[in-house]
Amino acid sequence: MTTAITSTCACHSFSVTIEFPNSELSINRALCLCNNCRRASGSCGWSSISIPPDQKINPSKFQTIAYESSKGVRRHFCTTCGAHAFTMVERTAQTLFLLVTGLWDRTEGVINWTGSKWVENTLDGGFSVWLTDMKRSDGTTKKLKRWARWDLKDGEIVPEGSLLTLSKKAQTPSSNDKLKAECLCGGAKFCITLPVEASEKILAPFPDLMVKSHLPAFENPKHETRCSQENDMKYLADYVPVLHVA
């Protein structure tokens, strides 16, 4: 008996169905927060599962572009929507195909989420700060682990109360007060500056993450933007006005 999952990118240019033997389910997996995975995916965390060796993914059937992130490791991205679809590992006689789980139609019953690994790379805990537990299908709650590095049986667990915020040393601003950002290969890189007086003048029409346009006037009488947080020292998560990107 097998369980089928279908992995599809946003534009549907990439779509495959894989059969996992029920005898091997569910598969333990921790969300990887290492620098390489975050920079390659552009997300807060990343995970993939090796498909059964009797099944293959033929790159020539899909419109993907491969990036060799390290010797023998090629990450395939959709050329239309940019989704990281799968990774080919050609370091042994047997080529491994790792299917990125974010594109799956479901993971319940297939993956047993255990927590986060390589938390120390984030400096402030990253997504693991919120990924502390999850509700099972039966309604019970499962506590998730936070590994400093590898999610091994004897892997180092992040101490309770640690890696929740930036250390004092990491908070020290650089001389130019710019936050650098770049992808894994360095092909896309930019800097983000701190909010300035002009930040408060950005008004609708803009995305709702930036402007509370959906609120009635009596709830937001001054039509305030919410891109700036904590006395203009931070931006709202996932949103930075183009004004501050260089």
**Of 65, 97, 113, which residue constitutes the final position of a domain?**
113
CA distance 171 to 130: 21
Asked if 102 and 186 sit in the same domain, the reply is: no
Position 171 in a domain = no
What is the sign of the dihedral through the CA atoms of 18, 11, 207 and 200?
A: positive
Of 87, 113, 139, the one marking the end of a domain is 113
Residue 34's domain is classified under what CATH number? Answer: 2.170.150.70
Domain limits for position 78: 2-113
Q: Is residue 163 part of a domain?
A: no
Would you say residue 127 lies in a domain?
A: no
* Number of separate domains in the chain: 2
Q: Give the whole-angstrom CA distance, residue 36 versus residue 122.
A: 11
Task: Tell me the pTM.
Answer: 0.75
Based on the domain organization, do 108 and 23 belong to the same domain? yes
Per-residue pLDDT of the chain (246 residues; tens, 9 = 90+): 999 999 999 999 999 999 999 999 989 999 999 998 898 888 889 999 999 999 999 999 999 999 988 888 999 999 999 999 999 999 878 899 999 999 999 998 899 999 999 999 988 888 888 888 988 778 889 999 999 999 888 889 888 888 776 666 655 555 667 778 888 888 888 887 777 776 666 554 444 545 555 555 555 566 555 555 555 555 555 455 555 555
Q: Is residue 165 part of a domain?
A: no
Q: How far is CA 70 from the centre of its chain?
A: 19
* In a domain? residue 51: yes
Pairing of strands 141-143, 64-70: unpaired
Domain boundary among 59, 92, 113: 113
226 falls within a domain: yes
Same domain, 109 and 192: no
**Does the residue 173 lie in any domain?**
no
Q: Cβ distance 232 to 177 under 8 Å?
A: no
135 belongs to a structural domain: no
